[in-house]
Structure 1
């Protein structure tokens, strides 16, 4: 039986990439990671339990490449993991053309370097996928950073934000936006745990203006937009407006669009367009993003359809960071 989904469409380019580092098979890549004391398969499964087999193997291959390259810093390991992810892209697919595998590696690298202060999951509404990604980062990134990375969730709807915060142990922050003065006030705050997860601030906005104000309040310098829920109502307008304001203020902001891609529809109630809305979320992302991924921020099957692997783009950010950090820790422990 094949090791993972669409094995035969991926095998050639994976083996070619592994051969560059003296690894002869995908199974041998797993041995390389195990020898360093890592169980990458389990780690990836722990972040998004509904991910496909190919996601677990893609990160295993990426980790083996990082080890063979002698990456002793998590940021370098993340970029090397991206090479592994890229080798899993099906030739000719959206993910292949956009080099999404390398993009994920580079995003992980950015989050592990000291000059990124705050990373936001910018969502149509707070979701489990954003939470999965945030947990992967919150529990691992700061083990290797000097200055802690702040992680926030910023989505449409205050009730959704509070529910996701409560379920996942984040800190819910309720804000109130004054439309006369443009000021944002904090009116309520509650931490739903006392571990590293409580350091994730979870916000719900009533509209785009409040969403932009939340981005400024937290001084977000890197974000990833959600995909198909409320994209015309919230996350793309927030990212685009914030981008313009940051440029005017001479401050940096790196915007990642989680995807879209051919055949990804916007809900007809967002667009009043039904089938004519195919690809619109993709187009919106292209207008503000510095990097664009492919497929859903949450649904493994949709990212797989785009030719990458079966894992949501948001959880993948957590996977890249978690695996990269464990590689640095293995290096420090003298495991390779």
Structure 2
């Protein structure tokens, strides 16, 4: 039997064993709707309290990283008590879909979101979107490049920052592998390393490094800039954002999303939960709290200065194919990037 953890780092095995103990101690059962959430508890707990009222049943939530929880669901198989998986990224949903662990959702739910932001098999749907961008210091960079592929050129030596352990950076690299192939992506990573790319602990640290002039360009998600502006005021943020054109891998539009587990004991409640997460209230919550893009039709964000989602030219990619995290991590290690 194929090991379902093979695509995940081996360090997750301990996490799976610990989470299994939680299942043995009574998670799920008759507690009502059980949600495995890869989204941060501090972010989504208030929203899930509202979801509980909207669905009309008790809701029990298990929190962890999306990769860890996807591995846990695969390990549990048909015995999983999870009814709904709330993922930080499309790759973890794609991994579950590939193993046949997600139930197809009704078209009434799927149809609320553009096809490119949901599973090609109709078994998961995106809830909020985030865009990869280049943050740049205008005092050092008169014009940011229009492709991440140019960042290996000598003119950008020692001038680029990134967050290697961030899941969104790793998803971007996975997207480049899907779009450009492994050989080209490996060459790009080695070129970045040779060109003196600088590692930071997270995206905000990358943005702050650009803002202070430590580096000229940073690879981040769009919403970190908008969070900093909301926190400190636009006048205090020197860095600007460049949205890459032409379907560049560096313009990947990834999503947080949800899927219902096959064999859910609370199917009706799970479907109500999906529809609530696509409601105006929930979609507006994601926009207001995280500065991400709402994905449901008819809902627009209120973040000042945020370009409309349909104006962006992200690459054409099946987001479910971002599931090969282990291969990406191996490639990053081989290139000396993590």
Please confirm whether the aligned pair reaches a TM-score higher than 0.5, indicating the same fold.
no
Which has the larger helix fraction? 1
Higher RCO by CA contacts (8 Å cutoff, separation 6 or greater): 2
TM-score (norm 1): 0.30
